[in-house]
Amino acid sequence: MDYDAFFGERLNALKARGDYRIFAELERRAGDFPSALLHEDGAADDVTVWCSNDYLGMGQNPDVIAEMVRAVQAHGAGAGGTRNISGTNRLHVQLEQELASLHQKEAALIFTSGYVANMTVLSTLARNIPGCIVYSDAKNHNSMIEGIRHSRSDKRVWKHNDPADLERLIREDDPDAPKLVAFESVYSMDGDIAPISEILDICERYNAISYLDEVHAVGMYGDTGAGVAERDGVMDRVDILQGTLAKAFGVIGGYIAASANLVDFIRSFGNGFIFTTALPPGIAAAARKSISIVRQSPDMRVRHQERAAAVKASLRAAGLPVMPSETHIVPVLVGNPVACRRASDLLMERHRIYVQPINYPTVDRGTERLRITPTPFHDDAAIRRLTEALLDIWGVLDLKRAA
């Protein structure tokens, strides 16, 4: 087999469909967010970033940066081993305590990313609990799907955000079979929110473990930024809360918070936790600092929501097809992969605005979109420029407007 030709052909097919991914090479400059330098064809130019998951700008928060620098100087660049073999630093333990406290759970466990957390925890639980059946929301993130698949347990996919469909599927199964229900709070591409309380009612009725991915909610919802489950007053009813340190908290890493026994079980049996080097202590210190700031900053959450509402209002007033999001995520429908890529390119070329196109397989075909993520650092002038730029591109490409 000519391997290289095979790779080339597959890539060409992606390009022909318009689904080929092109990365924007950015140079983030601490203190300038959401502005950054874009490197392209040997030149560099200022752009405004409108698609970052650094939702609260904590990745450039001066206190977080200072804490990271201090910890690196005090403790070095790396952790020095897996958690079991010399890699557990005091800063990891403190971070886990902070996370358990944030979610009001007995314990927490950190992973190298949110992806690894989902993959490891779901596969470890579903594989080790005998006869476990996993019920997965149809729009769950790839990391959950892969974790469930890796467990080789029975899996049922329930209609997105539809507790009645979940209950229908559960009732078809053996009442005595162990069950695990996996879902998200904020779905990151549509910006809708799960009916968490109703789903928990079902978990409780049928004795199923509840697993909630709050990756796009931690830091941003609830009085202390613990997520939508906190906002809805149901955090104590969720068995396993999963989150990331990389989005609103602005650093890197993932985690779960749960009962002491469950956390100890994953610590003891989770391969993706055991067989990998611990996060650098400087990362743990910065993440903990970021969490402690965000917990105490409801004003940041208010401003974040206010900015998102302002963007939605401005785009809607201009007749642009904003999809019905209930959250800080602002998806604008294009509905075609080639046009979506082109819209993103033209935004950059003509307006120095960066919004990455979101195409298949991240979203369904025909729902390709520009996913805009306002932050507290996008001011009114930036929103006006964004609105005018999108209107210009919608005109140039003759894209569909709001119905």
Ligand X SMILES: *Cc1c(COP(=O)(O)O)cnc(C)c1O
Q: Which residues are catalytic?
A: 247
Q: What is the largest CA-CA distance in the chain?
A: 63
Query: Cα–chain-centroid distance for residue 286?
Result: 19
Residue 331 in contact with ligand X, rule: CB under 6 A: no
% helix, strand, coil for the chain, step of 5: 45, 20, 35
Q: E-strand spans in 314-401?
A: 330-333, 353-354, 357-358, 369-372
Residue 161 in contact with ligand X, rule: CB under 6 A: no
Residue 92 buriedness (CB in 10 A; 0-12 / 13-18 / 19+)? buried
Neighbours of 18 (CB within 10 A): 17
* Whether the Cβ atoms of residue 182 and residue 137 lie closer than 8 Å to each other: yes
CA quadruple 250, 256, 257, 261: dihedral, nearest 10 = -160
* Whether the Cβ atoms of residue 316 and residue 322 lie closer than 8 Å to each other: yes
Min separation Cβ 216 and ligand X, Å: 6
Nearer of residues 85 and 138 to ligand X, judged by Cβ: 138
Residue 250 in contact with ligand X, rule: CB under 6 A: no
Nearer of residues 132 and 279 to ligand X, judged by Cβ: 279
Min separation Cβ 177 and ligand X, Å: 26
Neighbours of 176 (CB within 10 A): 8
CA atoms of 372 and 356, how far apart (whole Å): 9
Nearer of residues 215 and 228 to ligand X, judged by Cβ: 215
Residue 272 in contact with ligand X, rule: CB under 6 A: no
Nearer of residues 48 and 140 to ligand X, judged by Cβ: 140
- Strand 179-184 and strand 133-137: the pairing is parallel
Nearer of residues 247 and 301 to ligand X, judged by Cβ: 247
Min separation Cβ 141 and ligand X, Å: 4
Binding-residue pattern over the window 174 to 213 for ligand X, x denoting contact by CB under 6 A? ----------x---x------------------------x
Residue 359 in contact with ligand X, rule: CB under 6 A: no
Interface residues for ligand X in 273-292 (CB under 6 A)?
none
- Strand 330-333 and strand 369-372: the pairing is antiparallel
Residue 136 in contact with ligand X, rule: CB under 6 A: no
Residue 147 in contact with ligand X, rule: CB under 6 A: no
Question: Which helix or strand (DSSP H or E) is residue 27 part of?
Answer: strand 25-28
Site size toward ligand X (CB under 6 A) is 14
Min separation Cβ 374 and ligand X, Å: 17
Q: Please pick, from the candidates 202, 215, 257, 399, the single residue that binds ligand X as defined by CB under 6 A.
A: 215
Interface residues for ligand X in 75-114 (CB under 6 A)?
113-114
Question: Which helix or strand (DSSP H or E) is residue 156 part of?
Answer: strand 154-158
Phi, psi of 400 (to 5 degrees): -65, 135
Residue 246 in contact with ligand X, rule: CB under 6 A: yes
Nearer of residues 166 and 186 to ligand X, judged by Cβ: 186
* Whether the Cβ atoms of residue 243 and residue 227 lie closer than 8 Å to each other: yes
Min separation Cβ 118 and ligand X, Å: 6
Q: Please pick, from the candidates 33, 50, 55, 115, the single residue that binds ligand X as defined by CB under 6 A.
A: 115
Min separation Cβ 247 and ligand X, Å: 7
- For ligand X, the binding residues (CB under 6 A) are 113-115, 118, 141, 143, 184, 188, 213, 215-216, 244, 246, 254
